[in-house]
Structure 1
Amino acid sequence: MIGIIEDDRLLNQALKLTLEKAGYETMTAHTKKEALSLLGKGEELLLVDIGLPDGDGISLYQELRGRQKTPVIFLTARDEERDMLAAFDIGADDYVVKPFSMKVLLKRIEAVLKRNGEASPLTFRELSLYPAKKQVFMKGQEIRLTAKEYQLLEYLMLNQGQVLTKENILERIWGISGQFVVDNTVSVTVGRLRKKIEPDARQPDYIKNVFGLGYRIGD
């Protein structure tokens, strides 16, 4: 998932549409406050506007980095050396001056993810998930998943040890609340995923049911 923090709503939407068309999941925020409440939950990359209405993107990234180490590309309308130096001083992976080409930005995103993706797979026992490549392996063998199955597994593995409710999963994976879908949407997807990753789907050892609450990977 790529986090987009950009106060210009038209640009924010354009970035979201471009990235999703390219196959990325996104989460968007328009202010520093909104970003701090929404992000820091396992994003693969952040796109951060340096000039935000309630603070600057550099201090925002410093706060988010306290929760997890995430690659970042800064976006700014200012083409000043001191801004670039300040961004790189806190660990920026790249820096893009507006206006920019979406095609060029996508290439820069690919380059940053390639540099960072190999070093940070998500693992649990013999299951490995590579976010940058959207690949899953069980005992070294690649497992082919649908988009929703992959997103669900990634969400569970990003939150190992935590119980995720049906409502949590519907909001994160489908972007909707439970009232708009059939009641067994999540359980059907979990069932299909178990058949692909569990040694015995009837006695799951990876994706556990937590009675009356939801699902969990890990203790």
Structure 2
Amino acid sequence: MRVLVVEDEIGIANFLQQGLEEEGYRVSVCNNGREGMKLALEEEFAILLLDWNLPEYSGLQICESIRAKGINSPVIFLTARDTSEDIIKGLQAGANDYIKKPFNFSELLERMKVQLRGKEAPKRLVLGALEVLSASRQTFVNGEEIHLTQKEFELLSYLLEQKGEVCSRTKIIEDVWDIHFDYETGVIDVYINALRKKLGEAAGLLKTVRGVGYMIQK
């Protein structure tokens, strides 16, 4: 299983490469953003581990670029930047997880396994005018396709799987993002607002339960 590590601190990069290879992963390492961007866009990896602050291109730019190209491999940021604003930026760029340096290698391995394991989902989810095809990651409203980002799609699919049930912000952030941080940062609200704009006439299916969270129902 191939892993791309983009890290400009040589000691950390070497540590990750050695540790991951001992776990059976095939590891490619880049020490600057330009090389990392090229490999991320041109070659196939099961998962990407990105530093944020890199020479030439940042880890954030790499993440945004691969998502724009439709590459859905999990991305985990390994960075000293851990403010709420940075976490939101990383998640909005398409990251799946966010680990603050210095980090515990065993924890990193477990988080990688969670991302690589993924979640099985029904192939087709339908409610009213809304239809979601999990296998092809397509979303339709009244038969017309609408284009969602990776996280928008995952959030919508998650709520559809729980249709009729209220999902708290805490549960959403833990189940959809697989990370734990203060949900008052508003990252979920940002994604809900984006979904409502894109869903058009199906936006009414997405309900706010004041003080609790969100749900989907007719």
| CA 1:116–1:45: 2 relative to 1, 3 Å | farther
Q: Which residue of 2 aligns with 1:96?
A: 99
TM-superposed deviation, 1:115: 1.2
When normalised by structure 2's length, the TM-score is 0.51
Between the aligned partners of 1:61 and 1:7, the Cα distance in structure 2 is: 16
- For residue 23 of structure 1, what is the amino acid of its counterpart? G
Mapping for residues 1-219 of structure 1, pairs under 5 Å: 1-40=2-41, 41-67=43-69, 68-115=71-118
TM-superposed deviation, 1:79: 1.9
1:123-177, CA deviations, whole angstroms, 9 ceiling, x for partnerless residues?
xxxxxxxxxxxxxxxxxxxxxxxxxxxxxxxxxxxxxxxxxxxxxxxxxxxxxxx
TM-superposed deviation, 1:116: 6.1
TM-superposed deviation, 1:117: 9.0
The answer (yes or no) to whether the contact 2:74–2:115 under 8 Å persists in 1 is yes
The answer (yes or no) to whether the contact 1:2–1:24 under 8 Å persists in 2 is yes
* Same amino acid, percent of matched pairs: 31
SS at match of 2:81: coil
Between the aligned partners of 1:39 and 1:116, the Cα distance in structure 2 is: 23
1:168-194, CA deviations, whole angstroms, 9 ceiling, x for partnerless residues?
xxxxxxxxxxxxxxxxxxxxxxxxxxx
The answer (yes or no) to whether the contact 1:71–1:116 under 8 Å persists in 2 is no
1:27-52, CA deviations, whole angstroms, 9 ceiling, x for partnerless residues?
11111111122233110100010111
The answer (yes or no) to whether the contact 2:40–2:62 under 8 Å persists in 1 is no
SS at match of 2:76: strand
TM-superposed deviation, 1:62: 1.2
TM-superposed deviation, 1:90: 1.9
SS at match of 1:52: coil
Structure 1 stretch 37-46 or stretch 87-96: which is displaced more? 37-46
Structure 2, unpaired ranges of 5+: 122-133, 136-218
Between the aligned partners of 1:18 and 1:114, the Cα distance in structure 2 is: 20
The answer (yes or no) to whether the contact 2:76–2:98 under 8 Å persists in 1 is yes
Between the aligned partners of 1:84 and 1:94, the Cα distance in structure 2 is: 9
Aligned residues: 120
Structure 1, unpaired ranges of 5+: 121-219
| CA 1:75–1:5: 2 relative to 1, 3 Å | same
When normalised by structure 1's length, the TM-score is 0.51
Which 4+ runs in 1 deviate beyond 3 A? Answer: 116-120
1:180-211, CA deviations, whole angstroms, 9 ceiling, x for partnerless residues?
xxxxxxxxxxxxxxxxxxxxxxxxxxxxxxxx
Between the aligned partners of 2:81 and 2:96, the Cα distance in structure 1 is: 17
